[in-house]
Amino acid sequence: MAGTVLLVEDELFVALDLQDIIEEVGLSVDGPYISVASALDAVKNAPPDYAILDVRLADGEVYPVAEALQSAGVPFIFHSGHADAALLIERFPNAVVCGKPCSPIRLQDMLNRLTDDTCNLS
């Protein structure tokens, strides 16, 4: 499996765990980005293949990043303990929502499905 995952997460230990999970499924990591502003810059400079987004960051909610990814056709996972899954799916119907805490196996499965779905669309 190949591709790059934009990682947007402002909690260091969570970001390190996510980085390990992403790399274990054979993907590379761009990030972690700890702010909406830095993540938006990253998306504009080099759109990723996939993304994992925490919803609440120090400088606001991640929705502008999700909108940019959605517009670019980049599949992504919301990984948050504070977000309303139903509202996220309503606003971003193609997104995957994974609550915190989430087991590494479940997140790996979600990443694998995300990459499989992308391959099937090509």
**In the chain, where are the structural domains located?**
4-121
Global pTM value = 0.91
pLDDT digit string (tens) for 74-93?
A: 999 999 887 788 889 999 99
E strand residue ranges, the chain: 4-8, 28-33, 50-53, 56-57, 60-61, 76-80, 96-99
Beta bridge partners of 28: 4
State whether CATH 3.40.228.10 applies to domain 4-121: no
pLDDT digits (tens, 9 = 90+) for 42-53: 999 999 999 999
